[in-house]
Amino acid sequence: MTARPGTALSGSVRLPGDKSISHRALMFGALAVGETVIDGLLEGEDVLRTAAAMRALGAQIERDPAGRWHVWGRGIGALEEPADVLDMGNSGTGARLLLGILASHPLTAVLTGDASLRKRPMARVTEPLSACGAVFIAREGGRLPLTVIGARDPLPLDYRLPVPSAQVKSAVLLAGLGAPGETRVVEREATRDHSERMLGHFGAVIRRRQIDDEGHAAQEILLTGQPELIARAVQVPTDPSSAAFPLVAALLLPGSEVRLAGVGMNPQRSGLITTLQEMGGDIAIENRRHQGGEPVADLVARGSRLKGVEVPAERAPSMIDEFPILAMAAAAAEGRTVMHGLGELRVKESDRLAAIARGLARCGVGVEEQPESLTVAGCGGRPPGGNAQAIETELDHRIAMSFLVLGLAAERPVLIDDMTPVATSFPDFADLMQGLGAEFAAPEGALKWQP
């Protein structure tokens, strides 16, 4: 698909549901007693893989004609052994959280995924989970396909996160649901807390407090094991990671005004908005409220002249998925933008740090890649844009969407090599952006995009 330089964007849209919360709603509903009704579930490929996995483990899951999802759960410890391999597709979140659930269930299961997911390390999850008594048999580096033999008498866990990771934290807490006693997680850098919020929503006893951890300020999370989770209604807010694409596109195109309804405003997910506002982005936050235990608001983004900034490493966990699109904003800004604390990008759907740097260089943007940082030399207006070569998306949905946004604000069109990964998180991306005025085109035979 090609994104062509365009004029102002305008309109009001409601974006897909939050992917992180959608995964958890299905999983927690499957572990609860009773019927969980979910509104606004993201129906992207990643989340649908999680739904299929929970069905294979014995939960009853249906979508009604009105678009609501219904989950009839099995209760803690009552999932059944799957008859076949659980294929998690491209979903690292689904795979890692599911390993936490399976670790404290007395069953054997095999997980696999697509070519991208099979390259991603799972040892960061399986190592702490082994302490509960589970056994994991994996390829070198802890990679999928992977067999998990769940503990028959699981032990509670006590784990200090060596690096900020909401997926690892959540996997440990999910394993702790099936163990007697209290599971404890300590994190020195706050990560997204969707699991803690939703566990409390479903009736788990979970406590958070600030502590001193060997001279460092930290947060301690304590979960009482073997609760009876009670089914609850879940209203999934709009995904702030998906909102980032039309948000940045509106900022980069003069005269734009785009309204995004019901965007999740979890404090551990708001780093991009903070950074864009520091860069001079005109973003109004209106109608703040709570929805399903999560803060949400409506955002209005208007065309702006951006300037380069320095993004501190401590902000990275609150915007780790948004650095690809921030790099596109940095490319159009005036001056240098330096982003720190990006090591986690190396183990996403692709090596995102390297993919961003290669793609920006191909579009004529000055960029310097370091092991855990990225410096972008902004063009102070429209970046040069693409050439005859397509940007290699490397099966990564966020790389694909980010460079399409850059193409809208560049001097020359930007072509990406593969649109299909976008279906994992934002299947209606192209239609939604075109509805706001973006100009996308799919040359016949040139791409794998299937509308």
Q: How many CB atoms lie within 10 A of CB 255?
A: 11
CA 282 to chain centre: 25
Phi, psi values for residue 115, rounded to 5°: -60, -35
Q: Which of 444, 440, 450 is nearest to 2 (CA)?
A: 440
**Separation in Å, CA 66 to CA 63, 308, 428:** 8, 45, 18
Backbone angles phi, psi at 400, to 5 degrees: -60, -50
Secondary structure of 168-207 in the HEC alphabet? HHHHHHHHHHCCCCEEEEEECCCCCCHHHHHHHHCCCCEE
Q: Do the beta carbons of residue 398 and residue 421 sit within 8 Å?
A: no
C-beta neighbour count of 214 within 10 angstroms = 8
Which is the catalytic residue, given 46, 114, 321, 418? 321
Residue 284 burial (CB count, 10 A) = 12
What are residue 167's phi and psi, to 5 degrees?
Answer: -65, -45
Q: Are 69 and 61 in contact (CB under 8 A)?
A: yes
Token readout for 12 is 């009001």
Q: What angle do CA 122, 238, 424 make, to 5 degrees?
A: 45
Active-site residue, 396 included: no
> What is the layout of strands, in order, in the sheet containing 234-235?
60-63, 69-72, 35-39, 234-235
H/E stretch holding 279: none
Active site residues: 321
